[in-house]
């Protein structure tokens, strides 16, 4: 499978790290990178990462390319992907974060690529896919959204719980590390609370995940509400979900049934250890359920807590969905 990465930010760089270091990604060939930043900056930020540490192989720049170990990857700096020749590309991983309009989302197709996979929610996508929830809906869509990191964590979990006990209603809180959408010290943003320094305070805000659940699992439309609290950590987030189930279940039965379902779902993980967020860095799962935090009250109210590396796990799902798209031929 031949891919191009458009936008070499947090997700674009994490995807490339995984492709170059994980044996299971060896079948992916990176044809080119495109980012408006200078070549030396792209190479430096790839080699030295504040979250995941230095890249374990040599990274050097050559004429319009980055050489990483024995791989030479061409780099372009176009603000408009349509100006590039991508006729040898199967899938563009659209990681700029700006593919909201059809014009921007489809630029990879205009440049000659077969398909585009967007690293976030986008109204321009033909379909939004979350592994472990609705991958059967992919069909022949050529412009696909991979939803958000929190949606990838939440959707497989609520899908399983709905199958176990039926979801009448639920509320999700994501305890989310700060991101580039926040200032590190107070600075104007559209949302007043989001204008406050992300490294200094816990910041209550919104989450797109609950809106997307209705798109991914339509039968749960309007049954799940949600919110977010941004916290002063650089990586790894959490989902805290409270569910009102349709059927009574004892806590032990619920835990065991949920555990077996999670073990059989490859994008989810399970731990019975008393972990903290830093223990989950670089975990590839969309969500790792923390067994010690599960509670069932009154037979029908269940609380489930799970961890997710919102960059590493999401980047892994981007490649999983890209693999499904590439296998269509």
Model confidence pLDDT, tens digit, residues 237-255 = 999 999 999 999 999 999 9
What pLDDT, on the 0 to 100 scale, is given for residue 69?
84
Residue 329 clears pLDDT 80, i.e. is over it: no
Q: Do domains 2-119 and 149-310 have the same CATH topology?
A: no
Residue 155 clears pLDDT 70, i.e. is over it: yes
Mean pLDDT of all residues in 62-91 = 95
Q: How confident is the model at residue 9 (pLDDT cuts 50, 70, 90)?
A: very high
- The CA–CA distances, whole Å, from 147 to 123, 175, 309, 325 equal 10, 18, 15, 15
What pLDDT, on the 0 to 100 scale, is given for residue 202?
97
Residue 167 clears pLDDT 90, i.e. is over it: yes
**CATH number of 149-310, picked from 3.30.360.10, 3.30.9.10, 3.40.1080.10, 3.30.365.10:** 3.30.360.10
Are 251 and 301 in contact by the 8 Å Cβ rule? The answer is: no
What is the dihedral angle through the alpha carbons of 121, 122, 127, 132, rounded to the nearest 10 degrees? -10
Mean pLDDT of all residues in 185-193 = 93
- The CA–CA distances, whole Å, from 45 to 18, 49, 97, 317 equal 15, 6, 18, 22
SS3 content of the chain, % helix, strand, coil (to 5): 30, 25, 40
Residue 291 clears pLDDT 80, i.e. is over it: yes
Please state, rounded to an integer, the average pLDDT across all residues of the chain: 96
Residue 230 clears pLDDT 80, i.e. is over it: yes
What pLDDT, on the 0 to 100 scale, is given for residue 312?
98
Residue 129 clears pLDDT 90, i.e. is over it: yes
Q: How confident is the model at residue 190 (pLDDT cuts 50, 70, 90)?
A: confident
Beta sheet of 115-118, edge-to-edge order: 59-62, 65-68, 71-76, 29-34, 2-6, 91-94, 115-118, 143-145, 127-128
pTM of the full structure:
0.96
Instruction: Just list the catalytic residues.
Output: 149
Percent of the chain with pLDDT over 70: 100
pLDDT, one tens digit per residue, over 16-72 is: 999 999 998 989 999 999 999 999 999 999 999 999 999 999 999 999 999 998 899
Q: How confident is the model at residue 328 (pLDDT cuts 50, 70, 90)?
A: confident
Query: Would you list the domain boundaries of the chain?
Result: 2-119, 149-310
Mean pLDDT of all residues in 281-303 = 97
Homologous superfamily (CATH) of 2-119 is: NAD(P)-binding Rossmann-like Domain (3.40.50.720)
For 290, the token pair is: 């923390």
């Amino acid at each position: 499978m031949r891919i191009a990465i458009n936008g070499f930010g947090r997700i674009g760089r994490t995807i490339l790290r995984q492709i170059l270091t994980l044996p299971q990604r060896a079948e992916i060939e990176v044809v080119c990178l495109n980012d408006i930043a200078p070549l030396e900056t792209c190479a430096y930020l790839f080699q030295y990462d504040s979250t995941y540490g230095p890249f374990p192989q040599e990274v050097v720049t050559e004429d319009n390319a980055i050489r990483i170990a024995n791989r030479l990857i061409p780099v372009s700096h176009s603000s408009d992907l349509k100006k590039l020749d991508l006729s040898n590309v199967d899938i563009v991983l659209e990681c700029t974060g700006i593919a909201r309009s059809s014009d921007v989302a489809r630029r990879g197709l205009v440049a000659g690529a077969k398909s585009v996979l967007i690293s976030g929610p986008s109204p321009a996508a033909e379909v939004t896919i979350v592994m472990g929830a609705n991958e059967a809906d992919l069909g022949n869509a050529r412009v696909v959204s991979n939803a958000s990191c929190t949606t990838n964590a939440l959707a497989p979990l609520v899908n399983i719980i709905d199958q176990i006990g039926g979801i009448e209603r639920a509320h999700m809180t994501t305890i989310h590390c700060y991101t580039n959408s926040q200032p590190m010290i107070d600075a104007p943003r559209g949302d007043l609370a989001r204008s406050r320094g992300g490294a200094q305070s816990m910041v209550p805000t919104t989450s797109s995940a609950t809106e997307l659940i209705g798109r991914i699992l339509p039968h749960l439309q309007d049954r799940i509400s949600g919110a977010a609290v941004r916290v002063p950590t650089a990586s790894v987030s959490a989902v805290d979900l409270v569910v009102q189930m349709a059927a009574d279940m004892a806590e032990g039965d619920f835990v065991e049934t949920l555990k077996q379902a999670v073990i059989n779902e490859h994008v989810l993980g399970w731990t019975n250890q008393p972990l903290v967020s830093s223990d989950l860095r670089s975990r590839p799962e969309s969500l790792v359920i923390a067994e010690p935090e599960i509670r069932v009250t009154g037979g029908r109210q269940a609380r489930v807590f799970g961890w997710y590396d919102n960059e590493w796990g999401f980047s892994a799902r981007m490649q999983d969905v890209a693999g499904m798209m590439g296998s269509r031929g």
